[in-house]
Amino acid sequence: MLIRGIKWDMRIYATITSIRPLKLFLYREGLVRLSTERYDKSKLKNVFSHLTNSSINKYAHGGGQDGNQVYDNKWTIDQLKNNFRGNGFDFDTIWTKIEKIIILTCINLCSMCPNYENCFEIMGFDIMMDS
């Protein structure tokens, strides 16, 4: 799924305060990372078109590979939500699916973790969507 012809992903954060029982807090805000150039299958070596990693795309500012550079390459989840709603997508249904993915991932991970009462874990989940 592209936004204005641009690849993107989301970084969603969760905090686990207890393993058994599982206590998980999912942050409703996060980061949406967009590549800095339009997606183009014919230019597979163009990292600014194919990767959303901010540490790579920071070098694209000031002139892209082909003049199709996008400067606004970080959004909030609220900005993504507004974009989705403006284009007829049901963000709430998508968010519910993201919550399920994160919960199921944490349940699977927690079975391998020791249960320390005085610890917590902050985890970042990178979410990508396709059509």
Residue 26 belongs to what domain range?
Answer: 8-127
What average pLDDT does the segment 26-47 reach? 88
Q: How remote is the C-alpha of 53 from its chain's centroid?
A: 10
Task: Confirm whether 2 is domain-assigned.
Answer: no
Residues 6+ apart with CB under 8 A from 15: 24, 25, 27, 120, 121, 122, 123
Output the average pLDDT for the chain: 85
**Residue 16: closest CA among 4, 27, 6, 5:** 27
User: What count of other Cβ atoms lies within 10 Å of the Cβ of residue 83?
Assistant: 16
pLDDT higher than 90, residue 100: yes
Task: Confirm whether 54 is domain-assigned.
Answer: yes
pTM equals 0.79
pLDDT higher than 60, residue 23: yes
Amino acid type, 32: V
pLDDT higher than 70, residue 42: yes
Task: Confirm whether 1 is domain-assigned.
Answer: no
Report how many domains make up the chain: 1
Task: Confirm whether 41 is domain-assigned.
Answer: yes
Task: Confirm whether 35 is domain-assigned.
Answer: yes
Task: Confirm whether 3 is domain-assigned.
Answer: no
How buried is 35 (Cβ within 10 angstroms: 0-12 exposed, 13-18 middle, 19+ buried)?
buried
Task: Confirm whether 29 is domain-assigned.
Answer: yes
Of 1-5, 30-34, 59-63, 79-83, the poorest mean pLDDT is in: 59-63
pLDDT higher than 70, residue 63: no
pLDDT higher than 70, residue 90: yes
